[in-house]
Structures are given as structure tokens and as C-alpha cells.
Amino acid sequence: MIRYIASRLAIAVGLLLGLMTLSFGLVSLLPGDPAVALLGEYATPADIARIHGELGLDKPLWERYVEYIGRTISGDLGHSFFTGSSVSQELWTRLPNTLVYLVPGLILALLLGLAMGTFAAYRSGRLPDKTFTAGVSVLMAMPEFVLALLLLFVFYQQLHIAPAPLGMLSSSDIPPPKVTGSVVLDAVIAGKWKVFGSIFSRAVLPIVTMGLFFAAPFGKTVRTGLLQILHSPQIEFARACGLRPFQVYRYALSDVRAALMTYMVLLFAAALSGAAIVESVFSWPGIGGWSLDGVLKGDMPVIQGFVFVMGATSLLGYVVLDTLITLLDPRARAVAIRGRSSRSSLDTPSLDTPIPHQ
């Protein structure tokens, strides 16, 4: 098993290198000169040359590439061309802010999807199922920001339950002492649960937005998967053995598990790179708004850093997913551990093979 996990990790390292190359290549080959962006259109050639020198853009591509790889491996993602702040530091501060609403949001989506998909599958073809299908279509057709604005309209504007969409902390909250730079982590470290609670209450609407938005694909996956397995011989046999409905459901769910986990990672990656939309609605100081800003300005190190970290996070997610799915399924596990099919280990010599002619 250790060998299997090690081989997964080796593949991951290789892919990471590829990802670094890609994030460097894509951004370096993009049209547009950051020096022009910095100085404006009327900059003199001398000024542009000076900026190129400062940013290291006058060196040949391969030299910049080697330098980039070296720096990235040592954890330095460079500095923003415009603000001069460290990209790694920015990511480290902002990523937890994004995760604080994104992870609960996805879990909420999973639970909602599971509930809706199960209900639809068990009432297939009837009113609840049709309502579900219609609901999913509506949810899927609705852009995230519309959903977010709708929620704000109802819960902030009309009902006054939710706090104003003005970021993570209210003006009355005292920020926790700086340890990591990330307000969320610092609040936890300092044990400032009031601040953490305040952050969380502000995160509720973004979480619900995420939950509703991503519940649709989860629900669809659950419904399709369950419908298929509920008609399968496996479930028929489980029912014929008199298993309780909930146990039968658990048998069925174990079949859908892998698909759900795959979706979780896929949507996590998608949500992370699409965080800008929700974050601009709620003025959330996460990575979304920051990266969007970087992209619009052509801030190369920011784009590179963002692409690399998002890619690496997704990659890590996929590796963990792949390993988990393999280890959770005894069939795949046996193959992965022994490197071959485990059949024959328990087989009696030839009960199923024709008796050889003497």
C-alpha cells in the first residue's frame, strides 16, 4: 500500500513540475508588456528598458524559466509588479479567507444534493422527482452572482437577518493579534471565538450561495447513480434478503460514493478558480477578487502564482481522491497493492474450470 501511495506522489510531483512550466509559459507568452501597463502608453523606451531591468524581463526566456522554477520550489512566488507585495504572502493570507466559506459551502451542497437526489430517485417519475428536475434546471441556469444577490435581497434587505455584505469583519470587531497574517487562522490561534463567530455569521450567505449553486450537480449525480443502482441485481438481492430500507440505501450509496467524491474535487477546483464572483458580491477579502485584479492589470507574478497554487491545489485534490477511491474499493485496492488481480488467491484450484481430459 505504501508503495502505491508513493507512486501516486511521484506522479503528483511530475505533474507539479509540468504545472509550473505551464503557468510560466502561458503567462510569459501572453501578449502585453507589463512595463507599458505600469508606465502608461506614453512611456519612453528608456523608461521601459529600466522597468524591464528591474523586473528581470530583459533576460532571455530560458533564464527566467530556470529562475522561476527555482524560486517556486523554494516557496517564493515573486512580488506583484504593481503593489510590490509578496505573492506567497498574499496567497497565504487570502486563501484561508476563501476556504472558510468555500469548504462549508461545498459540504452544504453535498448534503443538499444528497437529500434532493435521494428523494427524487426514490420518487422517480412522480411529482417530487419532476419538481427536483425543474429545480435543478433553474439552479443550473442561474449564475452564481444572481443567486448571491437574490439571497442578499431577501435576507439582508427584506428580512434584516443577514449582516451587510461588507467583508469578513465588522468595524466593531477587533482583529486578532497577527501571527500568520490570515485573520481566520489568527482568530483560531488566539482563541478569539467571538471574532471567529463574527466571521462565520458573515460567511453564512456566501456558504448558502455556494451550497445552493453546487447542490444541483451533486443532486443530479446522486439521482442518476441511485436510479441506476436501485434497479440493479445487487439492490434486488439486498431487498430479497430482507435488509432494512436504510441499509439498502447505504448499499446503494456506496456505489455512488466514488462519483460524488470525484464531483467534490472537480467542483472544489472550479469553485476556487471562480471565487472572484461571489467574493466581489460580498466584498470578501479572499483570493478571488485579488486574482481578478491581477489578471485585469496583467500582473504577471500574481497570475503565475494564482494559476500555480490553484493548479497545485486541484492536483493535490485529485491525487488524494484517486488514492482514496482506490483504497475504499476492495477490488481496486487488491489490484493496486499487489499490482495484479487478486483473483485466484482464494480460488480453489479449478472448481470453475472444466475438468482436464486425462
Partner 1 sequence: MSLKVNDLVTEFATRRGVVEALHGISFEVGENEVVGIVGESGSGKSTVVRSVIRLLVPPGRVASGTVEFAGRPLLELRESELRAIRGKDIGFIAQNPFSALNPVLRLEKQFANIAKAHGVKADDGARRRAVDLLAATGVSDPERVIRGYAHELSGGMAQRVVIAMALYLNPRLVIADEPTTALDLTVQRQVLDTLRRLTVESGRSMLIVTHDLGVVNAYCQRVLVMYKGSIVEQGRVAEVFTAPQHPYTASLLSSASPPIEPAEAEVVPSQPLEVATWPSSK
- Interacting residues toward partner 1 by CB under 8 A: 124-125, 230-234, 236-245, 247, 251, 254, 328-331, 334, 342-356
Residue 292's Cβ-count burial label (10 Å; 0-12, 13-18, 19+) is middle
Nearer to partner 1, 42 or 246 (CB): 246
Task: State the nearest-atom distance from the C-beta of 133 to partner 1, in Å.
Answer: 16
Nearer to partner 1, 100 or 226 (CB): 226
Task: State the nearest-atom distance from the C-beta of 265 to partner 1, in Å.
Answer: 20
Nearer to partner 1, 178 or 331 (CB): 331
Task: State the nearest-atom distance from the C-beta of 125 to partner 1, in Å.
Answer: 6
Q: Which long-range contacts (CB under 8 A, 24 or more apart) does 153-158 make?
A: 155/205, 156/205
Task: State the nearest-atom distance from the C-beta of 255 to partner 1, in Å.
Answer: 8
Task: State the nearest-atom distance from the C-beta of 138 to partner 1, in Å.
Answer: 26
Measure Cα distances from 99 to 3, 92, 106, 268 in Å: 32, 11, 10, 10
Nearer to partner 1, 132 or 306 (CB): 132
Task: State the nearest-atom distance from the C-beta of 337 to partner 1, in Å.
Answer: 13
| CA angle centred on 103, ends 120 and 132, rounded to 5° | 15
Q: Are 165 and 156 in contact (CB under 8 A)?
A: yes
Integer distance in angstroms from the first to the last C-alpha of the chain? 42
Task: State the nearest-atom distance from the C-beta of 258 to partner 1, in Å.
Answer: 10
Nearer to partner 1, 178 or 231 (CB): 231
Nearer to partner 1, 174 or 241 (CB): 241
Nearer to partner 1, 45 or 354 (CB): 354
Q: How many residues does the chain have?
A: 358
